[in-house]
Amino acid sequence: MSSPIAEIRDLTKDYGTVQALRGVSLSIESGGIVGILGPNGAGKTTLVETIEGLRTPSQGRVSVLGIDPSREPRRLAERLGVQLQATELPPDLTVLETLRLFRAFYEKSLPANEVLAAIDLTEKSNARNRTLSGGQKQRLAIGLALVTDPELIILDEPTTGLDPAARRDLHKIIRSLKERGRTVLLTTHYIEEAEILCDRVVVMREGKVVADGSPFELLQRAQGGSTVWIRVDKELDPVGLFRAGAQPTGREDDYYRFTTEDPAAFVVALGRTLQEGNLTLLDLRMKRPTLEDVYLELVGTRSEDGDGEGS
């Protein structure tokens, strides 16, 4: 069995009296996309910057690709790709010149044209950075993280502030990294982004990991039941639905509304109720718990205070 690509054990990070990380332990296997999700102040950025070697742990142990980031940051930089939360690009350099500049910082690097193709900026290779849109600048920032063809790529809130079209473009690039066998560690504020992109989601709150699993596994934790709306052609006798565990929650126009912890049992009971009452089902709508519901159960709705150094 291969070793994890990153191993974090009992990690704490203090900024004066503020404890940004409080005993975080994670093991990240090679391959796939791991999302770090949490509100402002949860400790996401402090965690990834410690993994990158930009922060020194107060306590605990970090190993990335078998390297201690705080002891050998230069050696790690040759194998790690990083897109920071904010990237200042030289405004008067072209896209191609920027990539060539960054390639010069490393012993081994991919050809600039290969990186341009990977981030879909080939047509902008001779455009000056100051002329790029927000989405193009973010794609270039990811390109800079790819110049060494890294084994682990860390993207810190790459789509923040982008419009939906630019966000979709970045999602395609991130998925392509996974298809090439790379491991991606992604921090995000966007719950739907974590749900559609990530194989695994780590939820943080106040410097701690409060949940860790695939989006489907986290959905299994949802405490709220499903809501079902049904519309039929005649008056409904709901006794059979009650026996299946459904709870009535009123009516909305012509719809009967119920909550249920067991949607499958509800559907079976509904079929029997329709048949016995000689009813025709005109419409059925169901809303199941979402990852956002689970997230709010875990972290609450209150925005956290800052962790002292980023989010």
* pLDDT at position 305 over 80: no
What's the total number of domains in the chain? 2
Q: Are 206 and 249 in the same domain?
A: no
Q: Is the pLDDT of residue 13 over 70?
A: yes
Are 12 and 147 members of one domain? Answer: yes
Helices (H), 134-182: 134-146, 164-179
DSSP 217-268: HHHTT--S-EEEEEEESS---THHHHHTT-EEEEEETTEEEEEES-HHHHHH
Looking at the structure, tell me whether residues 116 and 131 fall in a common domain. yes
Task: Tell me, yes or no, whether 155 lies in a domain.
Answer: yes
pLDDT of residue 1: 52
Classify residue 1: in a domain, yes or no: no
**Is 311 among the domain residues?**
no
Output the average pLDDT for the chain.
Answer: 90
Whether residue 136 is found in the same domain as residue 13: yes
Residue 306 has pLDDT above 50, yes or no: no
What domain range includes position 230?
Answer: 226-288
Q: Residues 153, 20: one domain? A: yes
pLDDT score at 304: 44
163-177 pLDDT, tens digit each:
899 899 999 999 999
188 and 66 part of one domain: yes
